[in-house]
Amino acid sequence: MTLARAAHIVGLPDECGSELLVASAESIANLCASVIDGTRSSAARGVWSYGGYNAASIGTLLSIKRPELAIWPALIGFLRDVAIAASDKDPVLDTFAFHVEEIPTEVVEIVSSDPRRLTSVEPGMFHPPGADSAAVLRFLCAAEAIDEGEALSVLMRLSGAEEPSTRIEASKSLPLLGKVIGNALASGYLLHMTTDPSVLVRMQSAEMLGYFLGSDNVNSRVVAQRLIDMLGSDGVAVPFGALRGLRMAKQNIGSFGSPEILDTLHKISQDHAMVRVRYAAKSLLS
């Protein structure tokens, strides 16, 4: 068993991979626990390696799908180990955040009990030293283990950063921040981020708006109209971000949130200047 094979098996949809997972789960659990232990031992000696498959992320999904073989103690130790590089921890924290309802309550409580333990002495790849971790913020919001004032303070630092990549992380955090600061404030903040100077931040923000379509907040109509505007943006990036957001909305609520959005999709599928955008709109409508 390799991590690449384990990642493939754990990532298969239940309807087509359940038998393979049952047959392989014990081997995957042992492999992930062993790699996690080795990663912690290396980090304790000041040795970090980057790239490749993340054993802790694979182990988290395995523990959710096969609770009888869960490796929660190893995962708790990994996330609370300040020697582990942030670039290794962050994908695991995001997995915890987006699956928080499927993780045992006691595990979530232990991991979130001391947020300082979730930080890292080694930032790892693409993480400026001393910067706030958006993944920690997302997890704490998902676990509702951070107060509104602190969540907003971290969000403001992330969204005000000079690097577009950090502002993108702020945008990605806003759907989960809604659990703490409320959907009205989170969607309002996101609407502001759709005007960012960076096209990459605007693209990410357009996608995140899809999470707020159909949500019960005072900005619902404004969110829908802003998505319509962004579908008509020049180029490919921002319209594609809006289309991805609408695909998420369709998956989450079964619709596009408003008849005006549906009309716009039909229109751009016929006459948008970019062929790729037309094809993507037609695919979404099918």
Render pLDDT for 23-76 as a digit per residue (tens, 0 to 9): 899 999 999 999 999 999 999 988 888 778 999 999 999 999 999 999 999 999
User: Average of pLDDT values for 235-251?
Assistant: 92
**How large is the average pLDDT for residues 187-208?**
96
CA dihedral 146, 147, 152, 157 (to 10 degrees): -50
In this predicted structure, the answer to whether residue 258 has a pLDDT above a threshold of 60 is: yes
Tell me if 70 is assigned to some domain: yes
| Mean pLDDT confidence for 155-167 | 94
Give domain status of residue 118, yes or no: yes
Does residue 91 form part of some domain? yes
pLDDT at 145: 96
Q: Which domain range does residue 10 map to?
A: 1-124
Residue 96 lies in a domain: yes
- Model confidence at 140: pLDDT above 70: yes
Q: What is the pLDDT of residue 1?
A: 86
Counted domains in the chain: 1
CB 198 within 8 A of CB 207: no
Distance CA 205, CA 194 (A): 5
Structure tokens given for 154: 């971290």
The pTM (predicted TM-score) of the whole model is: 0.89
pLDDT at 141 over 70: yes
Residue 160 CA: distances (Å) to CA of 119, 132, 154, 155, 167:
20, 12, 10, 8, 7
**pLDDT at residue number 121:** 74
Whole-number pLDDT of residue 49: 80
Residue 251 included in any domain: no
Q: Which of 71-80, 214-223, 233-242, 270-279 bottoms out in mean pLDDT, i.e. has the lowest?
A: 214-223
Of residues 162 and 257, the one with the higher pLDDT is 162
Query: Which of 98-102, 215-219, 252-256 is most confident?
Result: 98-102
In the chain, pLDDT over 70 holds for what percent of residues?
A: 94
Query: What was the pLDDT predicted at 137?
Result: 96
Q: Where are the alpha helices (DSSP H) in the chain?
A: 3-11, 14-44, 55-65, 72-79, 86-98, 105-112, 134-142, 148-159, 164-181, 183-193, 199-209, 220-231, 237-253, 259-271, 275-285
Q: Give domain status of residue 30, yes or no.
A: yes
In a domain, 276, yes or no: no
Q: What rounded mean pLDDT belongs to the chain?
A: 90
How much is the average pLDDT of 224-246? 92
d(CA 98, CA 114) in angstroms, rounded, equals 20
Task: Judge whether residue 215 has pLDDT over 70.
Answer: no
pLDDT at 221: 86
State residue 111's pLDDT score: 97
For 117-139, the pLDDT digits (tens) are 998 876 555 555 556 789 999 99
Is 247 part of any domain? no
State the pLDDT at residue 166: 93
Buried/exposed code over 109-145 (b: 16+ C-beta within 10 A; e: otherwise): ebbbeebeebebebbbeebeeeebbbbbbbbbbbbee
Q: What angle do CA 111, 116, 117 make, to 5 degrees?
A: 50
